[in-house]
Amino acid sequence: MSGDTTMSPRTVLVTGAAGGLGRAFAEAFAHRGDVVVIADIDRAGAERTASELSTEGFTVIGTGVDVTDAASTAALAARVAASGSGGIDVVINNAAIYATLTRSPFEEIEETEWDRVMAVNLKGPWLVARACSPHMNESARIVNISSATVMSGSAQWAHYVASKAGVIGLTRVLAKELGERGITVNAVAPGFTLTEASHGLIADAESYGIDRGSIKRPIHPDDIVGAVLFLASPDAAFVTGQTLVVDGGRQFL
C-alpha cells in the first residue's frame, strides 16, 4: 500500500470496512501507522478483518455499528475518540447498501427498499459525521464515498444513484459548516470497482465499463485508495467540498 509514512499516527474511523473498499482503506491507513477503527453492521466481520490486520503488527480495532441509528453512531464516535491519543482525526464514510440491490425501473422499486437505501447511504454519513464532530481534532478530515454513477446516471438504479448524489450535496454543506474549525470534507466517487460485492452484482464484472475508459482495464480497490489517502492528508489541507471521480477516465466533469 502507498502512503506518507512520515506523518504522526492518527485516529481513523472507516465505516463499512469488514470487506471490499472499506477494508482496502483501513489497510492503507494501518500501513501508514495510524490507529484504525473498522466499523460495520457485520460486527463479526469487522472484528475478523481487524484481527487479520492486527496480526501484521498494525493497531486495528473492529466493532459493530448501525449507521442509521443515532445512539449506535454516538457510541461508536466515543469509542473511536478513546482509541488513540485523543480525538478523531479522519472519518471515512464508506458504509452503503450496494451488493444486495437488484436493478428495477424506478416505478417498480419498493418504497421500503428506497427508504432503506436512503437510510444507510445518505442518513448514515450524516449521523456518523454528526456523532464524530464533537470529537474531531483541528484539521481533521472527512472523506465521504459517493459513486461515479451520479455523473453518468445508471438506468434501473434510481435509489442508489440518488442516495450517492445526496452524499455529494451533504459533503458540500459539511465543508461549509466545518471549515472554520480547519476540518475538510470531500467526496471520492469511484467507478465500478472489482470487489466481492461487484462480482456478485454483475456477471461480466471483469470487463464491465472498460470500453468507456481512457485507461482500458478494470478498476481495483487499490486504484481508489490513493485518492482517499490524499484527501485525508495534510497535502489536501486547502481542498474541501470537492468530489474526486476515480474511474480511469470513463467520464470527465
Active site residues: 160
17 neighbors 38 (Cβ within 8 angstroms):
yes
The residue assigned the cell 492503507 is: 28
Count CB neighbours of 5 within 10 A.
Answer: 8
Helix (H, G, I), strand (E, B) or coil at 140: strand
Q: What angle do CA 129, 135, 136 make, to 5 degrees?
A: 70
Long-range contacts of 207-212 (CB under 8 A, 24+ apart): 209/247, 209/250, 212/250, 212/251
2 neighbors 24 (Cβ within 8 angstroms):
no
Q: Strands, E, within the chain: which ranges?
A: 11-15, 35-40, 60-64, 88-93, 136-145, 184-190, 243-246
Cα gap 53→23, rounded to integer Å: 10
Q: What angle do CA 216, 29, 74 make, to 5 degrees?
A: 115
Cβ-Cβ contacts under 8 Å for 132 (sequence gap 6 or more): 13, 77, 80, 81, 88, 91, 142
